Amino acid sequence: MKGDLSDQVVVVVGGTRGIGAAIATDLAAAGATVFVAGRDLDAARGVVGAIETAGGTAHGVACDVTDAEDCRRMIDTVAETSGRLDTMFANQGVARRSRNLVEWSPADVAICLDVNLVGCVTLARAAHRLLAADGGGRFIVTGSGSGHRNVAGLGMYGISKAAVSHLVRQLAIEWRRDDIAVNELIPGPVRTAMTGFRGDGDGDRADNPMQVFADRMGEWLKEPADVAPLARFLAGLPTHGPTGQVFSLAGRV
Ligand SMILES: NC(=O)c1ccc[n+]([C@@H]2O[C@H](COP(=O)([O-])OP(=O)(O)OC[C@H]3O[C@@H](n4cnc5c(N)ncnc54)[C@H](OP(=O)(O)O)[C@@H]3O)[C@@H](O)[C@H]2O)c1
């Protein structure tokens, strides 16, 4: 299987389901060697199996981004297996919907920041040297429209994603000299487990909060595979190309 990414080694963290699984599958179809990472190794292996059945090359890696040692081990595995890393997607995320900010428990605040924000810092720290080797690379973080415009009910989630957006610009400045492009991918609303859609009809109800939000905002409520072309585009950009930028599929201003 050959495509425009056939020379690339890509890691998709949060690749075990939803948007990340769709990105991993699409990039493998474009010829990339893809490492599918997340806490659920069985789910990662499921995505890898589907990629291999379609003729692609992929590996499953267990990685909890709240564990720095895990992130380091994952990058060691990539280095030992493939000897390089061209593009990392820091796509992992957790959300707690439909609560007022002050109703978030300290534990929920902590996990939201640990996974969505600190996890990106930990991944960046672990991956920097390998990304910088052999002419640079790309670090692409999945942001959210709620990080750019406040949305009632999303509480700490939007705040964590606003910080992620700032992190992207910070890393972009610091990593320019290493030819590592750092950009933010905003998917807009997508039907995944995070938004209460499970692909088996469960959650496919008119009163699903994401459905209501999309209807109210005139948004494009996507399937995970609809996000993949933008991810593929970003993975195909030159490492000295755009950096510190926001690339969005959201349909609202
Ligand atoms: N769906 C939307 O409408 C939407 C809109 C805007 C932005 N986003 C963003 O898109 C990204 C993907 O979301 P999704 O909708 O596809 O959600 P999802 O189906 O719930 O997938 C979330 C992914 O994050 C991984 N993850 C969670 N905690 C992790 C941890 N501690 N360490 C490593 N991986 C972890 C999960 O893997 P494991 O459980 O295996 O660890 C899973 O692969 C997130 O960053 C989300 O904030 C989604």
The model's pLDDT over 145-161, given as tens digits with 9 standing for 90+, comes to: 999 999 888 889 999 99
| Angle of helix 68-82 versus helix 119-132 axis, rounded to 10 | 30
Mean pLDDT (whole number) for 230-234: 98
Rounded-to-integer distance, Cα 97 and Cα 114, Å: 17
The CATH topology of domain 9-248 is: Rossmann fold (3.40.50)
| pLDDT-based confidence at residue 217 (cuts at 50, 70, 90) | confident
Instruction: Please work out whether the CB of residue 16 comes within 6 Å of at least one atom of ligand 1.
Output: yes
Task: Report how far Cα 253 is from the mean position of its chain's Cα atoms.
Answer: 22
Angle at 19 between CA 67 and CA 245, to 5 degrees: 80
The model's pLDDT over 71-96, given as tens digits with 9 standing for 90+, comes to: 999 999 999 999 999 999 999 999 98
Rounded-to-integer distance, Cα 54 and Cα 62, Å: 22
Rounded-to-integer distance, Cα 15 and Cα 50, Å: 13
Q: In the chain, what is the greatest distance between 2 CA atoms, to the nearest angstrom?
A: 51
Percent of the chain residues past pLDDT 70, beyond the cut: 95
Reply yes or no on whether the pLDDT at 2 is more than 50: no
Give the residue extent of every domain in the chain: 9-248
Count Cα atoms within 13 angstroms, Cβ side, for 210: 22
Mean pLDDT (whole number) for 159-170: 98
Question: To the nearest whole number, what is the mean pLDDT of the chain?
Answer: 94
The model's pLDDT over 85-143, given as tens digits with 9 standing for 90+, comes to: 999 999 999 998 656 899 999 999 999 999 999 999 999 999 999 999 989 999 999 99
State how far the alpha carbon of 218 is from the alpha carbons of 10, 76, 213, 222, in Å.
34, 44, 8, 12
pTM of the complete model = 0.96
Reply yes or no on whether the pLDDT at 193 is more than 90: yes
Ligand 1 pocket test target in 11, 12, 13, 17 with most atoms within 8 Å of CB: 17
Rounded-to-integer distance, Cα 185 and Cα 244, Å: 11
Instruction: Please work out whether the CB of residue 18 comes within 6 Å of at least one atom of ligand 1.
Output: yes
The model's pLDDT over 23-48, given as tens digits with 9 standing for 90+, comes to: 999 999 999 999 999 999 999 999 99
Give the three-class secondary structure for 185.
strand
Ligand 1 pocket test target in 12, 39, 97, 168 with most atoms within 8 Å of CB: 39
